[in-house]
A and B are shown apart, each in its own frame.
With several copies, the nearest count.
Chain A
Amino acid sequence: MAITALLSRDPPRAEAELQAFLNGRTGDGAVVAFVGLARDSAGGGPVTGLHLDHYAGFTERSLETIAADAGGRFPVSDIRVIHRCGDVAPGEVIVFVAVAAPHRRAAFEAADYLMDRLKTEAAFWKREDGPDGSRWIEPTDQDREDLRRWSD
């Protein structure tokens, strides 16, 4: 099993990542990819950009822990997580997650789990910028509820 989790200042290139992840894969029947994009609005107001603050080293380890936990929890073959930090424009990729598995149920569940963990437990501090100023974000109630689905 190959599990990689990377932090990137540049936007992950989802199509190239997917192609590399698929290449030569003959034992797995299922690949699920999740691409998280920066939206141009939130809570009814326009968003002109995001800033994802991180703590060098610490944030990378939070990504690695989440990816490793997914690999230990589901019967999957490979996991790849690439998460953006720094300034993000609307429409740009924030996160790319790919999971390969022999069967699709495990691939779907692992990707879903990865995103629920990443949206609450990845060590980022997110600022949304809009025409009326900036605000720092916390996980939504929905995010916390999603995460509780996986509690043992």
Chain B
Amino acid sequence: MEIRILFLGELGARFGREHVLESTEVLTVQEVRRRLGDQVEGSAAVLTRPDVRLAVDQTVVPDTALVRPDQEVAVLPIYSGG
């Protein structure tokens, strides 16, 4: 099973836009941040920043929220606005 990961904006440009996190268990958003930081070289520091928010299946959620293995997680740096 895999969690599909999207890095938006500058993070997509720096680390690649699409990633996959292999997982068979339910993870917290906090754990997704940590595992992604381990897996994607150079991303660990930025993934701990509170202004980098995560959306699960298109909804921004707190770090305590849960992520199932079939869900999509988007990593959202601060919006620039339009």
- State the A residues within 8 Å of B (CB): 36, 52-53, 55, 57-58, 61-62, 83-84, 94-95, 118-127, 136-139, 143
Are B79 and A61 closer than 8 Å at their CB atoms?
no
Give the one of A120, A121, A136 with max B CB within 10 A: A136
Closest residue of chain B to A122 (Cβ to Cβ) is B82
A55 with B81, Cβ < 8 A, contacts A125-B8, A136-B10, A136-B13 known: no
Let me know if B9 is at the binding interface, CB within 8 A: yes
Let me know if B55 is at the binding interface, CB within 8 A: yes
Residue of A95, A123, A127 near B79 (CB, 8 A) is: A123
Let me know if B37 is at the binding interface, CB within 8 A: no
Give the one of B10, B76, B77 with max A CB within 10 A: B10
Q: How many A-B residue pairs have CB under 8 A?
A: 65
Let me know if B58 is at the binding interface, CB within 8 A: yes
Let me know if B46 is at the binding interface, CB within 8 A: no
Chain B residues whose CB sits within 8 angstroms of the CB of A127 once the complex forms: 9-10, 13
Are B79 and A122 closer than 8 Å at their CB atoms?
yes
Are A138 and B58 closer than 8 Å at their CB atoms?
no
Are B80 and A94 closer than 8 Å at their CB atoms?
no
Closest residue of chain A to B77 (Cβ to Cβ) is A125
Let me know if B6 is at the binding interface, CB within 8 A: yes
Let me know if B12 is at the binding interface, CB within 8 A: yes
Residue of A36, A55, A138 near B74 (CB, 8 A) is: A55
Q: Mark B1-16, 1 if CB is under 8 A from A, else 0.
A: 0000010111011000
- State the B residues within 8 Å of A (CB): 6, 8-10, 12-13, 55, 58, 74, 76-82
Closest chain-B Cβ to A137's Cβ sits at a distance in Å of 5
Closest residue of chain A to B11 (Cβ to Cβ) is A125
Q: How far is the CA of A61 from the CA of B57 in the complex (A)?
A: 13
Nearest 3 interchain pairs by C-beta: A125-B9, A126-B80, A136-B10
Are B81 and A122 closer than 8 Å at their CB atoms?
yes
Closest chain-B Cβ to A132's Cβ sits at a distance in Å of 17
A55 with B76, Cβ < 8 A, contacts A125-B8, A127-B13, A136-B10 known: yes
Are B58 and A53 closer than 8 Å at their CB atoms?
no
Q: How far is the CA of A121 from the CA of B13 in the complex (A)?
A: 21
Are A124 and B74 closer than 8 Å at their CB atoms?
no
